[in-house]
Amino acid sequence: MLSLFATLWQADSAFPNGGFAFSNGVEGLAELGERLDGEGLAGVLAMTLTHRWMGMDRIAVALAFAAGADMDRLTEIDRRLDAATLPAPQRTGSRRNGLAFLTAHARIGTPSAAELKRQVERRHMPGHLPVMQGAVWRACGLDAQSALAASAYGVAAGMVSAAVRLGLVGAVEAQRCLGLTLPLLARLVDEAGRAGALTCDDFESLTPMLDIATMRHASSDVRLFSN
């Protein structure tokens, strides 16, 4: 039960990880005229989780979780993820969220968070959110599969929340959409847990529509979110 409660704690959108400032491409898609009602948003969630989270965040969380407190290994994973993330707004957002995540955990005394924060602030490592999550969540008592579940749910919940704040869907429709996405989340996390050994060479993402929307959004004159 302790691992379950720790997972709920870390997956809670109220945890201060800086994610409120980022839409993960939702605002950019809306600017391009993409249909983002309940059905359209569900499609974007499925695309993001299947073709970006599975090939990027999922691998980073898993590798960092396995690395534990090995700073050299965490630095290698972090730098490789940085190199594999092509859109600059995604890199910037992930780094800022990672630092905010570490700051919160350092203040509440989570083991290893303060040292990771120092490494990021000294620019020894980029500090991408999935890498920091994998390392810190192990210290919080989550097991490997729970860490993947918290990561995947956090991505989906963050995008749904952004859609509500942008006025694209209502709060009830957003929760319906998130509920319909739960079976996909469960399947992807289960597949991730059964996957064989992974390395940084396995990082990959195939979400051109999201990438284009995110990069175009960076030059918008008026915007609510940073990406």
Sketch the domain layout of the chain as residue ranges: 31-217
112: Cα within 13 Å, side-chain hemisphere: 19
pLDDT at 71: 96
Given a cut of 80, is residue 114 above it in pLDDT?
Answer: yes
Position 183 confidence tier, pLDDT thresholds 50, 70, 90: very high
Cβ atoms of residues 102 and 120 within 8 Å: yes
Instruction: Identify the three-state secondary structure at position 176.
Output: helix
Rounded to a whole number, what is the largest CA-CA distance in the chain? 48
Q: Which of 222, 216, 210 is nearest to 159 (CA)?
A: 210
Position 195 confidence tier, pLDDT thresholds 50, 70, 90: confident
Position 181 confidence tier, pLDDT thresholds 50, 70, 90: very high
More confident residue, 132 or 14: 132
Rounded to two decimals, the pTM is 0.93
Tens digits of residue pLDDT in 41-70: 999 999 999 999 999 999 999 999 999 999
Could you tell me the fold of the domain covering 31-217? Urease accessory protein UreF (1.10.4190)
